[in-house]
């Protein structure tokens, strides 16, 4: 049996085992997938112990170990390099551990699944943390007209945009953000985790907005989604689809099989 796991702290809330077992069943794979709660100072040791099992094939990595996973991997995909973070590790036949970041691909696949045409669109990306970093290059690959990054701490947005260095990518501050006229507004901040609206968000951001996307997800629509709808965004989506799509991309890296994501999203929407 191929063995997989998700490493994080905290980890109890993770639905990754459910997602990957559903994928495995639909693809005819027999897998084990466990949640591993890792003490904050023991990620490298926990990883080594997991991969020492000959049946261990790969793992997911979540908060707060994504940057450490990037450093541990023998090499990293271009998306992982852009994000400077890894959410998926895979062991090859020589026992070497390779790093990937599938979060941005998950976002793009979910947008496409909702018939969102990214090409030629003006995208406002709120936040400049790990999730934002992972999203930028996969979004750019879909040929938007422009991506503006708006972050509570402007210096972090500048640092991110400078390091990714692309002509479509700029920073906007609170004096300019209302004039950006975004078609798509993406909330990549962690504000929704405390039921808050990201600082600096104003009604003007949603005036001509066709989609407000919140990377966070939960049982209820987020504060950001409610606010966006109230102020004119025509469609609002949460990040559940992104979660399942990034998992599907990881599953493909490990097994070379592409699971159907729609039934899993539907199941989690109702049950989780």
> What are the C-alpha distances in Å from 204 to residues 39, 69, 72, 81, 110?
43, 39, 43, 34, 25
Do 218 and 209 form a contact (C-beta atoms < 8 A)?
Answer: no
Q: Which two tokens stand for residue 168?
A: 């479509």
- Residue number of the CB closest to ligand NDP reads 129
Binding mask 151-190 for ligand NDP (x = CB under 6 A): xxx--x-------------------------------xxx
Check residue 90 for interaction with ligand NDP (CB under 6 A).
no
Q: Which of 242, 248, 249, 264 binds ligand NDP (CB under 6 A)?
A: 242
Candidates 69, 171, 191, 211; binder of ligand NDP (CB under 6 A) is 191
Euclidean distance between CA atoms 241 and 171, whole angstroms = 27
Question: Rule CB under 6 A: is residue 258 a binding residue for ligand NDP?
Answer: no
- Shortest distance, CB of residue 78 to ligand NDP, whole angstroms? 18
Give the residue carrying structure tokens 């040929």.
143
Task: State yes or no: residue 129 binds ligand NDP (CB under 6 A).
Answer: yes
Query: Which residues are marked as active site?
Result: 66
239 contributes a contact to ligand NDP by CB under 6 A: yes
* Residue 16 binding ligand NDP, by CB under 6 A: no
Task: Judge whether 34 and 5 are in contact, CB under 8 Å.
Answer: yes
Q: Identify whether the C-beta of residue 109 lies closer than 8 Å to the C-beta of residue 247.
A: no
Q: How far is the CB of 229 from ligand NDP (least distance, A)?
A: 19
Exposure string for 170-207, b = 16+ CB within 10 A, e = fewer: ebbeeeebeebebbbbbbbbbbbeeeebbebbeeebbe
Task: Indicate the residue among 31 and 108 with the shorter CB distance to ligand NDP.
Answer: 108
Query: Sheet of 75-76: strands edge to edge?
Result: 31-37, 2-8, 56-61, 88-91, 97-100, 75-76
Per CB under 6 A, the segment of 71-79, 126-134, 138-146, 175-183 that binds ligand NDP is: 126-134
Instruction: Using CB under 6 A, list all residues that contact ligand NDP.
Output: 103, 106, 127-132, 151-153, 156, 188-193, 196, 198-199, 215-217, 239, 242-243, 246
């Amino acid at each position: 049996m191929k063995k997989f796991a998700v490493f994080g702290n905290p980890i109890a809330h993770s639905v990754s085992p459910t997602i990957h077992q559903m994928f495995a069943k639909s693809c005819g794979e027999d897998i084990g997938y466990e949640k591993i709660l890792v003490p904050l100072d023991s990620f490298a040791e926990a990883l080594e112990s997991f991969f020492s099992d000959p049946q261990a094939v790969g793992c997911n990595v979540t908060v707060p170990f994504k940057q450490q996973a990037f450093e541990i991997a023998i090499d990293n995909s271009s998306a992982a390099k852009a994000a400077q973070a890894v959410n998926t590790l895979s062991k090859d036949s020589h026992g070497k551990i390779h790093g990937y970041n599938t979060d941005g691909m998950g976002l793009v696949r979910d947008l496409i699944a909702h018939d969102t045409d990214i090409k030629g669109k003006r995208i406002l990306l709120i936040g400049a943390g790990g999730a934002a970093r992972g999203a930028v290059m996969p979004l750019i690959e879909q040929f938007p007209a422009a991506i503006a990054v708006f972050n509570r701490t402007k210096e972090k947005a500048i640092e991110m945009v400078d390091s990714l260095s692309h002509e479509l990518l700029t920073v906007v501050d609170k004096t300019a953000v209302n004039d950006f006229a975004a078609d798509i507004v993406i909330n990549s901040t962690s504000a929704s985790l405390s039921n808050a609206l990201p600082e600096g968000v104003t009604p003007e951001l949603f005036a001509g907005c066709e989609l407000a996307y919140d990377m966070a997800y939960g049982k209820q629509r987020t504060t950001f989604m409610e606010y966006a709808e109230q102020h004119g965004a025509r469609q609002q989506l949460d990040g559940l689809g992104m979660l399942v799509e990034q998992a599907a991309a990881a599953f493909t890296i490990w097994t070379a099989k592409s699971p159907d994501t729609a039934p899993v999203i539907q199941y989690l929407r109702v049950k989780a």
